Amino acid sequence: MNLTVFLPALLKGALVTLEATLLSAAVALVVSVVVGLVRLSRFRLLRGAALVYVEIFRGTSALVQLFYFFFVLPIFGIDLSPMAAGVIALGLNFGSYGSEVVRAAVLNVPRGQHEAAVALNYPPGLAMRRIIFPQALAAMLPPFGNLLIDLLKATSLLSLITIGDLTFAGKSLVQSQGHVTAIYTLVLVFYFVMALMLGRLMQAAERRVPGATAGGGR
Amino acid sequence: MNFDFDYALQILPTLLRATVITFQATVGGMVLAMIVGLALELLRRSGVKPVVYATKGFVSFVRGTPLLIQLYFLYYVLPLYGLSLETMETGILGLGLHYGAYLSEVYRAGIDGVPKGQWEAATALNASRTHTWLRIILPQAVPPMLPVFGNYLIAMFKDTPLLATITLLELLGTAQAEAAISYRYLEPYTLVGLIFLVLSWPSASLVRLIENRIRAENRNGR
Amino acid sequence: MGADPRQPILRMQGVSKSYGAVQILRGIDLDVEAGQRIALIGPSGSGKTTLLRLVMTLETPEDGTIEVEGELLGLRRVGDRLVKDSGAHLRSVRGKIGMVFQHFNLFPHMSALQNIMDGPVHVRGLSKDQARERALDLLAKVGLRNKADSLPRQLSGGQQQRVAIARALAMEPKIMLFDEITSALDPELVGEVLAIVRELAHETGMTMLIVTHEMGFAREVANRVLFMEGGHIVEDGEPEQVFGNPRSDRTKAFLGAVLHR
Ligand SMILES: Nc1ncnc2c1ncn2[C@@H]1O[C@H](COP(=O)(O)OP(=O)(O)OP(=O)(O)O)[C@@H](O)[C@H]1O
Ligand SMILES: [Mg+2]
């Protein structure tokens, strides 16, 4: 077996994996916050629509969603590049889980904080932006960290829609070079190291957001 | 291109039969995961340092790597070492190991949740180790874990389409096969999505209901 | 009514509030003149907090109206019907009221200074420099000029409550509501907080509604005392009269119980 062939190919794949992870995470983050807040909105119709989205994307399989975006959407004339289809599908899938994280974290901010905002005459949007959301953020980060690592792992599915990620690179190497055990072990180790790095990154982020819990009233 | 209801109806029975395969994989995977999870947690508590570290390392490695590659690994590597399994067996093994790593943490929380006094009472009664675990600790630890198990069961159910990649003809694999024959993607994949939704949404709601009930009971009980 | 020169600063008319089937406030009528400092006393559960929360719009009455300087609070007149108010009009009326809570409710992610500045900057539109200057003045007034950059969790309960008072004052309300602002404090910290309110009372002549169980403090600071029980205002008078010579037997019994404890 020839590491000088394996490693560059796997590294190239790992970069694609990283790119896909970060892009999907960006989509998922935006979706999480928007949908999570809409789920708490005063408008029933909006709330209902958000709930339907969440239930559909949590209720079906990520891989099925991915295939839907890749194989079915082109039938309707929506022709996305594989990467775009993958990033959108994973972003929406993880956004549905993330929106629940946002919702729960916002709901967990003590009632006294809402009341203080009313007493200081904050309009609802401003209260959310300046008072409630910043406090909820601390509670969101640990579950977001877990989701990010799940997302990293889920990007391996992108290899099934022709994206040349780490998994794809491993599969191609196996096909051209053999050495199944060595290559798949290496691929696993690559993912593991990336997961550890992302975990560290999120821990660092957590330390920078003050654990906004003490003295918050009830 | 419109949704062809006739075609959809025509492939529906095939897909429903494939749902049975999906079920078998889910149930098999869950049973194995519950055993593996408990075993891992007991090893982690064994007190033998090398065993403890190895177990922790294994759990975090399995949790830190994609199920897809784990499945490839089992499917392609095990036979090289003389272990030839059926596709279904490989799938169940993959799901069981992957989710077992997650469930070991659930067991940990559940077992940690049993009050210390129960251990002391067991000692006071001079109960054997096996008796303590089987009759005293686990019966108290497991019920609060059940909703969490339920959530992992549903998650595993939604992960079964990955078994299509190791040629198991479960739901998604069957849909792919149909699509390959008819060149129609809309109907098979839509049906697969709907079947998943119809099965997992009520289950998830049920688990949530149980969770809320347990939470309410704990609140009243304290 | 709007032309009345002696228009009350706060007027409650027939205000009722229930939680579920339990009626907490039963048709409260109350006129508060500018400059009055009202001590609200009464047994636990009599509805004192609920009354303040209604005035702060933290609750909505199911009956009756509340007016601030002749303007409806939380309600808007549409034709001859009253509908729930929101938006700019609600805020223009609500801005005249400030409240200090039992549990302080400081914003834990902001320093003491930021807690005080944030509302003036973002709600009232003051410039940052202006707001900071005012906030530092207020911190000095409550004796915490050196704690400007401390987070709430780095402050004692008494200090937190003093910051909370400064924060409410920074919004320049015309009416201040205090709900048992010392009852979550260790006994040795009560004095420093009461001293601030006392000073405020004597220096500014601000209108105040003070719910308190500290009868000595009520007697000293208030110029009007309301005794509440069972969702009614049972007695209403000057401190000397209510404390020295209560008219109602209920008041007598209550004061007898709390003063001889
Ligand atoms: N959100 C609520 N839901 C249901 N009941 C409530 C709620 N808030 C208050 N109550 C009830 O209303 C009654 C009056 O409460 P309130 O807090 O106004 O009394 P209070 O006079 O301030 O008493 P205390 O001196 O104990 O603070 C109490 O019996 C209380 O249990
Ligand atoms: Mg009260």
Name which of B168, B154, B125, B131 is nearest B20 in CA terms: B168
C46 lines ligand 1 (CB under 6 A): yes
CATH number at residue B77: 1.10.3720.10
Q: Whose CA is nearest to atom 31 of ligand 1?
A: C45
Measured on CA atoms in the order A71, A75, A78, A79, is the torsion positive or negative?
A: positive
Arithmetic mean of pLDDT, A117-132: 96
* Phi-psi region at C172: left, alpha or beta (left = phi > 0; alpha = psi -120 to 50): left
Is A154 in Cβ contact with B197 (below 8 Å)? no
- What pLDDT does residue C5 have? 63
C21 lines ligand 1 (CB under 6 A): no
- Which residues, including other chains, have CB under 8 Å from residue C254's CB and lie 6 or more apart? C41, C42, C43, C227, C229
Arithmetic mean of pLDDT, A189-195: 97
- What pLDDT does residue A2 have? 77
Q: Whose CA is nearest to atom 25 of ligand 1?
A: C44
DSSP state of A161: G
For residue B165, the chain A residue with the least C-alpha distance is A160
Could you give the number of structural domains in chain B?
Answer: 1
Q: How many other β-carbons are positioned within 10 Å of the β-carbon of residue A9?
A: 18
Going from the Cα of C232 to the center of ligand 1, the distance in angstroms, rounded, reads: 14
Going from the Cα of A106 to the center of ligand 1, the distance in angstroms, rounded, reads: 26
- What pLDDT does residue A1 have? 60
Chain A residues near residue B70 by CB distance under 8 angstroms: 188
Taking domain A19-163, whether its CATH number is 1.10.3720.10 is answered by yes
Tell me, what's the ipTM?
Answer: 0.93
CA distance A141 to chain B (A): 18
- What pLDDT does residue C261 have? 61
pLDDT for C151-166, tens place per residue?
999 999 999 999 999 9
Q: Whose CA is nearest to atom 5 of ligand 1?
A: C19
pLDDT over 90 at C97, yes or no: yes
Tell me the pLDDT band of B1, cut-offs 50, 70 and 90: low
Please report the DSSP string for chain C in residue order. -TT-TT--SEEEEEEEEEETTEEEEEEEEEEE-TT-EEEEE-STTSSHHHHHHHHTTSS--SEEEEEETTEESSEEEETTEEEE--HHHHHHHHTTEEEE-TT----TTS-HHHHHHHHHHHTS---HHHHHHHHHHHHHHTT-GGGTT--GGGS-HHHHHHHHHHHHHHT--SEEEEESTTTTS-HHHHHHHHHHHHHHHHHH--EEEEE-S-HHHHHHH-SEEEEEETTEEEEEE-HIIIIIS-SSHHHHHHHHHHHT-
For residue C106, the chain A residue with the least C-alpha distance is A216
- What pLDDT does residue C32 have? 96
Q: Which residue has the tokens 């199920």?
A: B67
Q: Which ligand is nearest to the CA of C19?
A: 1
Backbone angles phi, psi at A101, to 5 degrees: -60, -45
Chain B residues near residue A185 by CB distance under 8 angstroms: 73
CA–CA distance, C124 with C118 (Å, rounded to integer): 9
CA–CA distance, C238 with A173 (Å, rounded to integer): 91
Distance of CA C183 to the CA centre of its chain: 15
**For ion ligand 2, residues whose CB falls within 5 Å:** C 49
- What pLDDT does residue A161 have? 95
Chain B residues near residue A72 by CB distance under 8 angstroms: 185-186, 189-190
Of A119, A131, A218, the CB nearest to C99: A119
Q: What would the two tokens of residue A60 be?
A: 């079906």
CA–CA distance, A49 with B61 (Å, rounded to integer): 38
CB C55 within 8 A of CB C97: yes
Arithmetic mean of pLDDT, B60-86: 95
pLDDT for C37-76, tens place per residue?
999 999 999 999 999 999 999 999 999 999 999 999 988 8
Measured on CA atoms in the order B22, B28, B33, B36, is the torsion positive or negative?
A: negative
Q: Which domain holds residue B131?
A: 5-221
Arithmetic mean of pLDDT, B146-159: 94
DSSP state of A159: G
3-state SS, residue B111: helix
Distances (CA, A) of C34 to C69, C71, C201: 9, 15, 13
pLDDT over 90 at C3, yes or no: no
For residue A111, the chain C residue with the least C-alpha distance is C105
Of A59, A62, A195, the CB nearest to B200: A59
CA–CA distance, B57 with A188 (Å, rounded to integer): 14
User: Which amino acid appears at position B172 of this protein?
Assistant: L
User: Is A14 near chain B, with CB under 8 Å?
Assistant: no
CB B11 within 8 A of CB B171: no
What angle separates helix A133-154 from helix A180-208, to the nearest 10 degrees? 170
Q: What would the two tokens of residue A128 be?
A: 């959310």
Least confident of A156-170, A191-205, B202-216: B202-216
CB B170 within 8 A of CB B163: yes
CA distance A203 to chain C (A): 19
Distance of CA B200 to the CA centre of its chain: 14
SS (H, E, C) C29-71: EEEECCCCEEEEECCCCCCHHHHHHHHCCCCCCCEEEEEECCE
C146 lines ligand 1 (CB under 6 A): no
Is A72 in Cβ contact with B165 (below 8 Å)? no
Per cent of chain A over pLDDT 90 is 85
Subunits with 3+ C-beta pairs closer than 8 A to A? B, C
CA–CA distance, B59 with B73 (Å, rounded to integer): 17
DSSP state of B126: T
Distances (CA, A) of A25 to A31, A167, B211, C110, C140: 10, 19, 29, 29, 46
Q: Whose CA is nearest to atom 29 of ligand 1?
A: C45
CA–CA distance, A75 with A95 (Å, rounded to integer): 25
pLDDT over 70 at B185, yes or no: yes
Please report the DSSP string for C201-228 in residue order. HHHH--EEEEE-S-HHHHHHH-SEEEEE
- Which residues, including other chains, have CB under 8 Å from residue B193's CB and lie 6 or more apart? A60, A64, A65, A68
C44 lines ligand 1 (CB under 6 A): yes
Is A61 in Cβ contact with B159 (below 8 Å)? yes
Backbone angles phi, psi at C29, to 5 degrees: -115, 125
User: Which amino acid appears at position C102 of this protein?
Assistant: Q
pLDDT over 50 at A217, yes or no: no
pLDDT over 90 at A5, yes or no: no
For residue B60, the chain A residue with the least C-alpha distance is A192
CB C37 within 8 A of CB C218: no
Q: What would the two tokens of residue B138 be?
A: 């686990």
CA–CA distance, A22 with A18 (Å, rounded to integer): 6
C161 lines ligand 1 (CB under 6 A): no
3-state SS, residue A52: helix
Residues of A with a Cβ under 8 Å from any C Cβ are 110, 112-113, 115-116, 118-123, 126, 130-131, 134-135, 210, 212-218
- Helices (DSSP H) in A108-165: which residue ranges? 111-119, 124-127, 133-154
Buried b (16+ CB within 10 A) or exposed e, B100-111: bbbbbbbbbebb
CB A161 within 8 A of CB A82: yes
Kind and range of the H or E element at A16?
A: helix A3-38
- What pLDDT does residue C50 have? 96
Q: What would the two tokens of residue B180 be?
A: 């390959």
- Look over chain C and give the mean of its residue pLDDT values, rounded to a whole number: 93
Going from the Cα of C219 to the center of ligand 2, the distance in angstroms, rounded, reads: 19
Backbone angles phi, psi at B18, to 5 degrees: -65, -30
Distance from first CA to last CA of chain C, Å, rounded? 46
Distance from first CA to last CA of chain A, Å, rounded? 63
Q: Which residue has the tokens 């404090």?
A: C185
